[in-house]
Amino acid sequence: MKLKAAEQNLTRLDDVTAQLETQLNSLKRQARQATKYKQLSGDIRRLEATGLYVHWKDAAETARLDAAALDEATRVLAEHTRAASEKYASRSPTWWITSVE
């Protein structure tokens, strides 16, 4: 009886060991997947950050060019305004006054 019980215990132990090995293999696979996911997540974050930086640099360059264009347009407008003012000033000083008789 004791021998038969010991054999049954060994059989159960083998079954439990086999189940634990299956679970261990599954956990190892999950650990590999988690490590890969962590690496990929880090890569994605770095790529997103790089993309945002490039977008920001492009926007900053566009803003710089737009500011330069605005400065040039302002300069041209001031020049035309000054020229128009000088042109009208060279006319009769009372060109804008209408006489009322």
Taking only the tens place, the pLDDT of each residue in 31-66 is 999 999 999 999 999 999 999 999 999 999 999 999
Q: Which residues are CB-contacts of 95 (< 8 A; sequence separation ≥ 6)?
A: 88
Q: Is 93 helix (H, G, I), strand (E, B) or coil?
A: coil
Q: In sequence order, what DSSP letters do the residues of the chain get, joined into one string?
A: -HHHHHHHHHHHHHHHHHHHHHHHHHHHHHHHHHHHHHHHHHHHHHHHHHHHHHHHHHHHHHHHHHHHHHHHHHHHHHHHHHHHHHHHHTS-TTTTPPP--
Q: How confident is the model at residue 81 (pLDDT cuts 50, 70, 90)?
A: very high
